[in-house]
Chain A
């Protein structure tokens, strides 16, 4: 069965590329262009991984992460952001994200990290 990934990103080019690349890699991809629609998607569907930007309209990435960690603590989160400041990255990890990828990103590297996060979450569930 295909793993389901929720991509939350407001840049149409990045959304389309991630959707294309991850679908090619064999994942089922759902996209949301802001935090609010991401929350709606989470209520109606279940996901194996979340890939999110930090700068989102309506509900910020940090608020969204808090919401996910509170309500869906087992779903691994990868942050994909332009932020490179150490404090932002540290804050994200303190909130419980599993990985942080800075933009510009290498699509191949991203796929590897997605695979790794999904593998790690599987191990955690088993243990």
Chain B
């Protein structure tokens, strides 16, 4: 391999001008390498320079067009003598020729939409359609780049633009998390009757961030709060967990019987969320089931049971648990003693002598 490279180098150097090829080999190699790197450096500098000039010209264009668009929109919104149809057509033909121009126009319309409300919102939509930006948005939505699709969805969401739902449906199970979030938000925002309808089509688990996004989206949803029990039998456990959380947050007490059934579910995550939700709703029927199941439960759930007794239980409930406590679980012992302390009880009365290892003074609160 080394011989082969040396041969190539010799061949290359064989074609060099005489004043270079007459030099010693080391110098020849040095000279050739220097020339190669000089050429590479020039190419790289040219590229940087080109990118810089291109960026500057884009910024210059953006600045100039922004002023034109602000002026146009102000006239459109506030000038009664403005010939909207004619001026829109003229502006579109004169100023919105490239993708960059259209993107700048969309960005500026979004700034207006963020700051103005009332009758102006409808006019901004008219400007958007008049500029032919919806077609541009749909092209972006069908593009292969996920970030372009996400941005297009965000624009449609912010401007309340109706786009074919078939284009959005296909994005509920994409691997690009940001794009998926935008698809959820768009669906939720545009829905009039079933804001969580997209959950029926979800086949990939919901991440915690997605759940937070959906929860926040629901807070600003104007329509009727959905019946979260519809998805309590969904195939994806994160969807079920989310709905159980929402049942408690939105006080849908009528679904307590279904949540109680989840206390016997084979999936511990679902059992845990059922306990948390029922505890939040202070359901008294919860405690006898939890105490009955305590010994068979996982450590995490045992903690939840103790927290539940702390919140809605009594001395009697704590006493029932005491006999199942085992010394191998010190964190549970701490939880037990915390609950006892909350209820002004002496924990050692409920536990065996071998449990008196932790002093109240050392408890972490």
Contacts and interface: CB of A to CB of B under 8 A. Distances in A.
A16 B119 contact: no
A82 to B, nearest CB: 9
Contact of B78 (A24, A105, A106, A109): A24
A12 B117 CA distance: 17
Contact of B74 (A17, A104, A106): A17
A14 interface: yes
Given A12-B70, A106-B120, A107-B120, A21 B78 contact: yes
B79 A13 contact: no
Interface stretch (B108-116, B148-156, B263-271): B108-116
Contacts of B115: 11, 13-14, 17, 103-105
A13 B74 CA distance: 9
B83 interface: no
B78 A107 contact: yes
| Chain B binding surface SS class | helix
A72 interface: no
Interface string A8-49: 000111101100110010000000000000000000000000
B77 interface: yes
B78 A20 contact: yes
Contacts of A11: 111, 115
Contacts of A109: 118
Contacts of A124: none
A94 interface: no
A103 B113 CA distance: 10
B116 A24 contact: no
A85 interface: no
Contacts of A13: 70, 108, 111-112, 115
A127 interface: no
A16 B117 contact: no
B87 to A, nearest CB: 15
Given A24-B79, A106-B117, A107-B78, 17 more contacts: A11-B111, A12-B70, A13-B70, A16-B70, A16-B71, A16-B74, A17-B77, A17-B112, A20-B78, A21-B77, A24-B78, A103-B114, A104-B117, A105-B116, A106-B120, A107-B116, A108-B118
29 contacts: A11-B111, A11-B115, A12-B66, A13-B111, A14-B115, A16-B71, A16-B74, A17-B77, A17-B78, A17-B115, A21-B78, A24-B78, A24-B79, A103-B115, A104-B114, A104-B115, A104-B116, A105-B116, A105-B117, A106-B116, A106-B117, A106-B118, A106-B120, A107-B77, A107-B78, A107-B116, A107-B120, A108-B118, A109-B118
